[in-house]
Amino acid sequence: MRINKFLAEQGIASRRGADELIAAGRVTLNGKKASLGDEVLPTDEVALDGKSLSHKVKFEYYIMNKPKGCVCTVKDDRGRKTVLDLLPKDAGRVFPVGRLDYDSEGLLILTNDGDLAFRLTAPQSEIPKTYLVRVEGTLSEAALNRLRTGVELEKGVVTGKCKVNIIETDKTYTKLHITLTEGKNREIRRMLEAVGSHVDFLKRIKVGDLTLSGLDRGACRKLTQEEIFYLKNL
């Protein structure tokens, strides 16, 4: 298998993150500095920062109700709490699939299954993710249509079509369900800023049809075999 996939299955990082480790010269293959695109055989020795990695991997899968005030990284250089701090002490080495920013909360999947992580985050997979969003004030029909058909976030960067439904509103706030099939950085916040609205609450509530299933804020649990099968076949 490709060396970035091997590292992803170790729970070291996503495939993209593994490429960065390889490019930084931190990965060796049979004692020599690894290159992007190298193939790993069962008899090969792969090491990260001089520490040998096993070929035997047990996949783990967690679902978390991420709270605000923690980051979706393995380690934060600013010393902030990460989502890994909320996992059980006996959890293996897993990494978050995709991102929820520091001020956002909700459904987050963590795993060391690089193939599943890639499938859930790759733009071509078009996996729907649904968010509960609250904005200040009201939204006009014209603003809603712009959100649904695509908003220019910056020159040459336009969001794809999405589903937007108002679920509650009065003169001071509006609650929306927004379903996206892409994952640009802080996309929903930037979309709503583009139509003149400010987000004061954002929570991911679904990935496909997978929900938080009553998980309290900050809690997590292992995914069931049925849920894992579902995600792999989305």
Provide the annotated active-site residues: 101
Full strand arrangement of the beta sheet holding 27-29:
32-33, 27-29, 46-48, 51-53
State the DSSP string of 8-67: HHTTS--HHHHHHHHHTT-EEETTEE--TT-B--TT--EEETTEEE-S-----EEEEEEP
Q: H or E segment at 70? A: none
CB 39 within 8 A of CB 53: no
Tokens of 110: 């963590």
CB 107 within 8 A of CB 221: no
DSSP, collapsed to helix, strand or coil, labels residue 110 as: strand
CB 111 within 8 A of CB 95: yes
CB 133 within 8 A of CB 164: no
Nearest residue to 96 (alpha-carbon basis) of 191, 164, 104, 28: 104
Q: H or E segment at 85? A: none
Tokens of 123: 């733009």
